[in-house]
Each structure stands twice: as structure tokens, then as C-alpha cells.
Amino acid sequence: MNEVNIGMVGYKFMGKAHSNAYRTLPMFFPESPKPIMKAICGRNMEAVATAAEQFGWEESTVNWKDLLSRVDIDVIDINAPSNVHKEIAVAAAEAGKHLYCEKPLALSLKDSRDMLKAAEKAGIKHMTGFNYRFTPAIMLAKKLIDEGRLGDIFHFRAWFLQDWIVDPDFPLVWRLQEEIAGSGALGDLGAHLIDLAHYLVGSIDEVIGMSETFIKERPLPEETGGLSATSGNKTEKGPVTVDDATLFLARFANGALGSFEATRFATGHRSTNSFEINGSKGSVIFDFERMNELQVYFSDDRDDVQGFRRVLATDPAHAFSAAWWPAGHPIGYEHTFTHAFVELLAAIKEDRQPVPNFNDGVKCQQVLEAVELSTRDKKWIQVASL
């Protein structure tokens, strides 16, 4: 299989990121099957047609079901709002299409399990959009942990901080509405932290959390793009029905402890996605704002040179880096999506499930739901009980 035909639902922030990745992939990964950008779907006929021309898609449509009936489409890429993920994914699986779906997988744990069940019944390939896994520095951290170079893991602490809705006059975009987004900072930002915790440390056994919605009402939007919007009459408002910030503690199955913070009210932080892992033999620190670097500490270094060292993860010895630029030349956010699609297309060609897949999406959703129950009931929740 030298080519894989793509149909995509969604054309805004993630739609642009995915489109860029599909276009970039053949130049830098010539050994990979080539993605063919067949058709893009969105609700606004004029806007999606403009996106198709700008992003490089052959056609556009306002009906996602059109994509499922086409024999020349192999993969359905879903990056529309969370409330439509399940319907599209289940129908696409039943039509025999492979799936790539953005996180969080669905509005609820039940819906995410229904999506996984449909994909498994259809025998198709399925992948969840946890793109941060494909950052070379994070993959280096994973390698150090798997090789035992950090020893037994004691702590995983992670934080994803943004500030784009601190202004109380920022409009009520769909990400602030539970019926569309499912949850706020927890599901949008916390989902990435949870998946990285699973990827790097292992399964989470139990959680206890707290959350807050700092601004209860916001002006109704005139136009919205999810992360951007313009408001009309600022006196006409609607309720914010998701969390602005959620913090929770966790116990891992291997005995490690975790702390997680996801907020859209961290003034001065545009998008700070970071974690620190402490083990018996060493530690690592990662900050996505400096995504090509990993801070590494080894306790067996000589006393006179002990300390965190800055490792530049652009050397060809590290994952994916050989495909890009000479050592020392950084890559960016957009490349994590390219790497994810390299994995998806390779899995289709090799007839295996890509990683992360819907199983990982369900596992993340299980923790999200446990945190929500914990914040409501103010007690520890066993993740496996859900």
C-alpha cells in the first residue's frame, strides 16, 4: 500500500494542524505510504471550501456521511468538536473506514467504550490524537525510563497552563459548553497530561481532585473558532458549564505518586505543557515551550558535576529526528502531528494497531471521569471501578 486516501471532518485549529502534517509527511518520510487529501468536511459551506483550497484538499462537503459512502476514502480523520466524535466514528467504523480521532475521545467514558467496541467489531485501525507522545524529547524520556536509567519512579508531576479566557468578556465559545466539549480544562488540557502519565509511568489506580469555574457567565459569541471568537452584545450572556481549572492527585499502579494541574487561568502562560519525573537514579524535566530540550539528572554522576543537564533532542540518534534537519536544528509543534500520521500510515501498511489507539483514549477517559466524580463527591475514586 503506497497511498492512503484521507477524508477529514473539521477544518479549524486541528484541521489546519492535521492538513499541514499530511502535506509535509511525503517530503520528509518518503518510505511512508503517501496520504492523499481527498475531501474535507465542515458545517459552513463557504468556510470549508476556502479551507479546502488553502489546506490542499481535493474537495469539500458539508455532510460527513458523504465521506463514508466513498470507496476512494480509506481513513476518516475526526477533529470536529467532541460531541460529534461518537456518531461519526461509529458510522465510519461500520463503513469499514480506518479512524483517527482527536482527544478527548468522546463526551463520556461510555461513549468512548462504544467507539472502541465499534472499531474492534469492524476490524479497522484506530488512533487517538495524543500528539505530544511524538515529541522526540518526550520519547527520549520514555527511553530512559524503559531502560531503567531513572530507577524506580517515585513522582510524576505535570501542569498544562493557559490564560486565553482570563478576560471575563471573552465570549462563550463551544469549548466552554459541557454539552459540546464534555469538560473544560480537564478534558482539553488534562487529557494530554493523563496520556503522557500513562505513556511514561503506567496505569493510574486512584485519584482525588478539585475544580473551579471562575467566571460563571460569558457574552454570547457572534463568531467562534473554539480558541478564538468575537462577541456581539456583551450584555447578552450564557452560562459557562465546564471547569476553568482542575487539579488532582493520583496514585499509580507501580506505587508512584502524581500531581496534575490543568487551567486556562494561569495569567502569563500561553500554553505551558510540562512535567517532571523523579526516580531513584535520576530525574527528567520537560517543558513544551522548549520542546527540543530535555533536562536530565543522574544521581551516579560525580559529586563535582552533579546537576540537571540540558539535552538537545535533535540528534539523529533520537526518535524521528533523522528525518528532519541536521543536529541542533529544532523542530516545532506541527511536527508532532506529522510523526503521529507516520505511525498511523505505517500501522495500516503493516496490518497492526497504531499507538496510541482507542484503547488509550478509553483509558484516559476513565481517569477523566474518575476525576470528575472525585471533584463532585470530594473523595478518592478508584479508576478501575468505572
Domain boundaries, the chain: 3-131, 133-353+364-377
pLDDT value of residue 226 = 52
Q: Identify any residues that bridge with 52 across adjacent strands, giving them in sequence order.
A: none
pLDDT value at residue 252: 98
Q: Do the first three CATH levels of 3-131 and 133-353+364-377 match, i.e. the same topology?
A: no
Residue-by-residue pLDDT tens, the chain, 386 positions: 799 999 999 999 999 999 999 999 999 999 999 999 999 999 999 999 999 999 999 999 999 999 999 999 999 999 999 999 999 999 999 999 999 999 999 999 999 999 999 999 999 999 999 999 999 999 999 999 999 999 999 999 999 999 999 999 999 999 999 999 999 999 999 999 999 999 999 999 999 999 999 999 999 998 665 565 556 566 799 999 999 999 999 999 999 999 999 999 999 999 999 999 999 999 999 999 999 999 999 999 999 999 999 999 998 888 898 899 999 999 999 999 999 999 999 999 999 999 999 999 999 999 999 999 999 999 999 999 99
* Alpha helices for the chain (secondary structure H): 13-28, 45-55, 65-68, 85-94, 109-122, 136-146, 178-181, 185, 191-200, 333-350, 358-377
* CATH tag for 3-131 (out of 3.40.710.10, 3.40.50.300, 2.60.40.10, 3.40.50.720): 3.40.50.720
Strands (E), 198-244: 204-212, 217-219, 221-224, 229-231, 237-239
Which three cell numbers mark 1?
Answer: 500500500
3-class DSSP assignment, residue 188: helix
My answer on whether omega of the bond before 104 falls inside 30° of 0, hence cis, is yes
Q: Look at residue 315 in the predicted model and tell me its pLDDT.
A: 87
pLDDT of residue 319: 85
| Cα 298 from Cα 282, distance rounded (Å) | 4
- CA-to-CA dists, residue 3 to 52, 67, 76, 342, angstroms: 20, 17, 15, 12
How many Å apart are CA 96 and CA 82, to the nearest integer? Answer: 21
Q: Contacts by 41-47 with C-beta closer than 8 Å and gap 24+?
A: 41/7, 41/8, 41/9, 41/10, 41/11, 41/66, 41/67, 42/9, 42/10, 42/11, 42/15, 42/80, 47/11
Predicted pLDDT of residue 225: 58
Query: What does the longest C-alpha to C-alpha distance in the chain come to?
Result: 66
- Alpha-carbon span 97 to 324, nearest angstrom: 30
DSSP conformational letter for 253: T
- pTM for the model stands at 0.96
Contact 368, 139 (CB under 8 A): no
Task: Kindly state the cell numbers that stand for 279.
Answer: 526516580
CATH number of 133-353+364-377: 3.30.360.10
Q: Which pLDDT does position 228 carry in this prediction? A: 59
